[in-house]
A and B are shown apart, each in its own frame.
Chain A
Amino acid sequence: MLTVRMHFFQRLSALVMAPLVLVHLATMIYAIQSGLDASEILARTQGSLFWGMFYGLFVIAVAVHAAIGLRVVVYEWLKVACAGLEVFTISVGILVLGYGGRAVVAVVF
């Protein structure tokens, strides 16, 4: 059950995620070639404002996109509606934001 506003945020978050996913994959493939381990990766990401913002933005976009996407699935397949649907949508968003945010903090700080 989507309104114009949710449709907008769904498209916007997809637009934000697309280039970030590509950069993420390309960087991973490039960085791993010479056999980096976790501590070496952390050495490069910790304290980096760029990677902090990069993955911070990524997590926000994923939280929005996943919440709206799962909202549709839950409404259409499980018939969850009204307040239940709103609670579900917001919870998914907060959950992804929480876990993703924790990962970003761990990698950058």
Chain B
Amino acid sequence: MTDSTAENGPHLEVRVWRGDDSAGKYVHYQAPLREYQTILDVVTWIQRNAAPTLSYRFACRVGMCGSCAMMVNGKPRWTCRTQVNKVAKGNRLTLAPLRNLPVIKDLVSDMSEFFDKWQEAQGRFQPSATREDAVASVAPQSAQRRAADAGIECINCAVCYAACDLVTANSKYLGPAALNRAWTLVNDVRDSGQSARLRAVSGSGGCHNCHAQQGCVTYCPNELNPTASIAGLKRATLKAAMRGEL
């Protein structure tokens, strides 16, 4: 079914998921092909010109907020920074909501479980000092600071969560982003919640389940390496267990 015809000139053939988990189908649209356009530009064009009720999510449009991720031709992408000419084969696009999450409507997936697991993994800073204490000094070159640095630029886009086959197979699995966050905090010398955190990442959905085949690393738009962070957690939890602290 063609809901719209693009302006004259070269165009893209776009299939867009319309509906939710219970019912829906791919609807076909045509959108103009323009130089340097992003996937998000295409979705926006479709919504403005062909399908005003199309739901999708974005905010910053510059790769900062992490809200625009979708499945593009079967692969999870941050759509505001993904250029059409890099991913559209034969000017064809198939757009779907992020994998491994429930669908609210059209291209909007429900991120609740993704953020809940972030909390479950104790992915929040637990201060060890008060405002009366001196500001902690953390040497930028220290091994711990460098380990934290390597994982800190996460934008919570859930691209890795959608790429992870283990999330599909084991719904309890905390996922690459939450575990990556936990690892950055394990390396935060100011944090006071370490034993609770190590316990939290050692449960039945914890870091030890990771297959380490790096789907998350392949697709993380910020080129982070959650697999390496998870390997760090495996080592840290093992050490803690051997000391009888888990």
Contact = CB atoms under 8 A, between A and B. Distances in A.
Interface of A: 1-8, 72, 75-77
Interface of B: 166, 169-170, 172, 202-204, 206, 208-209, 234, 237-238, 241, 246
A2 B209 CA distance: 5
Given A3-B204, A7-B238, A76-B169, 12 more contacts: A1-B172, A1-B209, A2-B208, A2-B209, A4-B241, A5-B241, A6-B208, A8-B238, A72-B209, A75-B170, A76-B170, A77-B169
Given A3-B202, A3-B203, A8 B241 contact: yes
B182 to A, nearest CB: 14
B139 to A, nearest CB: 30
A3 B238 CA distance: 10
Contacts of B237: 4
Contacts of B169: 76-77
B204 A1 contact: yes
A77 B165 CA distance: 11
Contacts of B209: 1-2, 72
Q: Which 9 A-B pairs have the closest CB atoms?
A: A76-B169, A7-B208, A2-B208, A4-B202, A4-B241, A1-B204, A4-B237, A2-B209, A76-B170
B163 to A, nearest CB: 16
Nearest to A73: B169
Contacts of A8: 238, 241
Nearest to A79: B169
Contact of B208 (A4, A76, A77): A4
Contacts of B203: 3
A75 B172 CA distance: 12
A1 B68 CA distance: 32
Contact of A4 (B170, B172, B246): B246
A6 B246 CA distance: 14
A43 B136 CA distance: 70
21 contacts: A1-B170, A1-B172, A1-B204, A2-B208, A2-B209, A3-B202, A3-B203, A3-B204, A3-B208, A4-B208, A4-B237, A4-B238, A4-B246, A5-B241, A7-B234, A8-B241, A72-B209, A75-B170, A76-B166, A76-B169, A77-B169
